Amino acid sequence: DAGVTQSPTHLIKTRGQQVTLRCSPKSGHDTVSWYQQALGQGPQFIFQYYEEEERQRGNFPDRFSGHQFPNYSSELNVNALLLGDSALYLCASSFRDGTYEQYFGPGTRLTVT
Amino acid sequence: GEDVEQSLFLSVREGDSSVINCTYTDSSSTYLYWYKQEPGAGLQLLTYIFSNMDMKQDQRLTVLLNKKDKHLSLRIADTQTGDSAIYFCAASKGPNYGGSQGNLIFGKGTKLSVKP
């Protein structure tokens, strides 16, 4: 049973560029949430996708956008990158059946120079 | 909004019990979680407890919840060097809010060091 997978593992971008991160949920899961974890901090919620729609959003600017595909996989896009966007980006998947276990992927380490 | 706080460091000897504490501020948080993060890795779900429970035990892990004081603890029995990691407490309001599964609010994590 494949867990949550994310790609790429590491990424280096320059200020002002755009980046796309990808996530495939755990088998049987239909909900994907994205979190940003800065160094030495706990993860912070960015947004959650279910049925291909953004259902909830944390306190992140519009530069952060996402998409969910019919196969439940998801993308996180960040435009106009800032140095402060450097972080570990974590994807979590879950299933809306009343169980609230969110399983996390290994993350994508984004470095903005 | 919700705020989750944890002590930043804990050091124990191998074989001892570890107790990691967490406090949260929002009494409407109904699901409370413990995650483990090893260096360079994602988060591993260890266990979770509903707010209508006082205690949950899972092998070496015991979770205690004091809802009145909004205090959560994770006890690891017979701590091993492989338990060295950062442990995150997280709170969620669950699906009764907005009809979707609640997002998780995390503490800053407690770094557990286990000395042989």
Asked whether B19 and B110 are in contact (CB, 8 A), the reply is no
For residue B97, the model assigns a pLDDT of 53
Provide CB contacts within 8 A for A97, sequence distance 6+: none
Of B45, B101, B105, Cβ closest to residue A103: B45
What's chain B's average pLDDT? 91
**pLDDT digits 0-9 by tens, A19-50:** 999 999 999 899 999 999 999 999 999 999 98
Q: Is the confidence at residue B92, as pLDDT, over 70?
A: yes
Burial (0-12, 13-18, 19+ Cβ within 10 Å), B88: buried
Distance CA A107, CA B40 (A): 9
Q: Is the confidence at residue A18, as pLDDT, over 90?
A: yes
Contact A96 B31 (CB under 8 A): no
Q: Residue B116, preceding bond cis, omega within 30 degrees?
A: no
Report the chain A residue with the minimal C-alpha distance to residue B107: A42
Most B CBs within 10 A among A51, A91, A100, A108, hence the mutation to make, goes to: A100
Confidence tier at B101 by pLDDT (50, 70, 90) = low
- Exposed e or buried b per residue across B61-76, where buried means at least 16 C-beta atoms within 10 angstroms of its C-beta: ebbbbeeeebebbbbb
Q: How far is B87 from chain A (nearest CA, A)?
A: 10
Confidence tier at A67 by pLDDT (50, 70, 90) = very high
